[in-house]
Amino acid sequence: MTGPAPQDQQIRSVLSYDSTVSRAAVHRAAIAEVFLTDSRPVAGREDTYEVAAQLPRAHIMAEQSGTHDFLLLVEVLRQGGVFLAHTYENVGLDESFIFRHLRIQIQDLSAVRTGDRPARAVVTFTVDPQRKRNGRVQALDFTGTFTIEGKVVLHFSGGLAFFTRTVYRALRARRRDALAGQIGVLPTHVAAEPESVGRRDPHNVVITQPQPMGTSTLAATVLSDTTHPHLFDHQLDHIPGNLLLEAARQLAAASVASLHSISAAGLQVTALDASFQEFAELDLRTQAVASVEQFRLSETLGTLVVPVVVEVVQQERVVASFRLEVAQ
């Protein structure tokens, strides 16, 4: 009977990849949607933790064979931030959270390539909890590094806000009351062709076909399929941040492809600066507008990238904004 390889024994002595963490600790309903497997404080580094994650070789969002989907990397970061808040900062499991901001810079495109087994990731977080006078954590900022199989993939920073159940319900009730009389039945829109937005599966398309609004500006309507098993893993009362990010990515890919005469297939996000200003309502028309800039050389990656600014708008108010850089 053979045992684990020596390198596996060494890794498992620090972090385990044998089972996932609790679904509740990462706010997921499906076990298959839980990517984290373990965590530990880093000795000698205050407020710093290592989080282990296993990246699947197959996933509904992972359509581009050969690379880990950017949205899944973001999901690991989201799960990591939420998990650390619950596990180490005494944030209650019944509390709600929202993403406030997220910044990512890919360091090595070769590090996101898939291998012949599920990838083992280690994400190092340094957290900065923002506490109220009573000691309760109301927000958690974090910075860190994401590695896959020992190779640095990206650097990141971000922030989450947490709300007790009572506060969250009151917050949402005020917002919904303010919209009284302004909400109607939304028309059924036709989704964009998958290949035009860098997708293969029609079920993963979350925008309509982008339309030009100027020499370097395109716009599309954001589509929310509340039956999607990843984007709506569980019932939500608003459009989730990962769907808005995916809409921004699809619009960026389609816009770059259209304006620079290249294929949307295979375009990769290499940098992200995201800010979430307000709740995006499921029953309001949601438009995404992209402004495409010119090619520039990324000193980090040594390759050409195209910056794209995407704003997500409801009722003429920006609810989320993204600055992405994409590369072939």
Average pLDDT, the chain: 94
How many Cα neighbours within 13 Å face the side chain of 319?
Answer: 26
How much of the chain exceeds pLDDT 70, in percent? 96
Mean pLDDT over 96-121 rounds to: 96
Common-topology check for domains 6-168 and 182-327: yes
Among the listed residues 186, 189, 89, 94, the one whose alpha carbon sits nearest the alpha carbon of residue 139: 89
In the predicted structure, residue 172 carries a pLDDT above the cut 90: yes
* Per-residue confidence (pLDDT) for residue 224, from 0 to 100: 97
* Per-residue confidence (pLDDT) for residue 4, from 0 to 100: 42
What is the b/e burial string over 251-278, where b = at least 16 CB atoms within 10 angstroms of the residue's CB?
Answer: bbbbbbbbbeeeebbebbbbbbbbebee
Per-residue model confidence as pLDDT tens digits over 192-218: 999 999 999 999 999 999 999 989 999
In the predicted structure, residue 6 carries a pLDDT above the cut 80: no
182-327 CATH: 3.10.129.10
In the predicted structure, residue 308 carries a pLDDT above the cut 90: yes
* Per-residue confidence (pLDDT) for residue 13, from 0 to 100: 52
* Per-residue confidence (pLDDT) for residue 8, from 0 to 100: 42
- pLDDT confidence band for 104 (50 / 70 / 90): very high
pTM: 0.93
- Residue of higher predicted confidence among 4 and 186: 186
Of 54-58, 145-149, 311-315, give the lowest mean pLDDT range. Answer: 54-58
* Per-residue confidence (pLDDT) for residue 163, from 0 to 100: 97
CA–CA distance, 148 with 54 (Å, rounded to integer): 9
- pLDDT confidence band for 166 (50 / 70 / 90): very high
CA–CA distance, 225 with 231 (Å, rounded to integer): 8
The contacts of residue 310 (CB under 8 Å, 6+ apart) are 247, 248, 251, 252, 288, 289, 290, 291, 321, 322, 323, 324
In the predicted structure, residue 12 carries a pLDDT above the cut 80: no
Mean pLDDT over 101-124 rounds to: 96
* Per-residue confidence (pLDDT) for residue 186, from 0 to 100: 87
CA–CA distance, 258 with 68 (Å, rounded to integer): 25
The CATH H-level (homologous superfamily) assignment of domain 6-168 is: Hotdog Thioesterase (3.10.129.10)
In the predicted structure, residue 312 carries a pLDDT above the cut 80: yes
Mean pLDDT over 13-31 rounds to: 94
* Per-residue confidence (pLDDT) for residue 65, from 0 to 100: 73
Mean pLDDT over 276-291 rounds to: 97
- pLDDT confidence band for 182 (50 / 70 / 90): confident
In the predicted structure, residue 99 carries a pLDDT above the cut 90: yes
CB-based burial label for 105 (10 Å; 0-12, 13-18, 19+):
middle
Domain boundaries, the chain: 6-168, 182-327
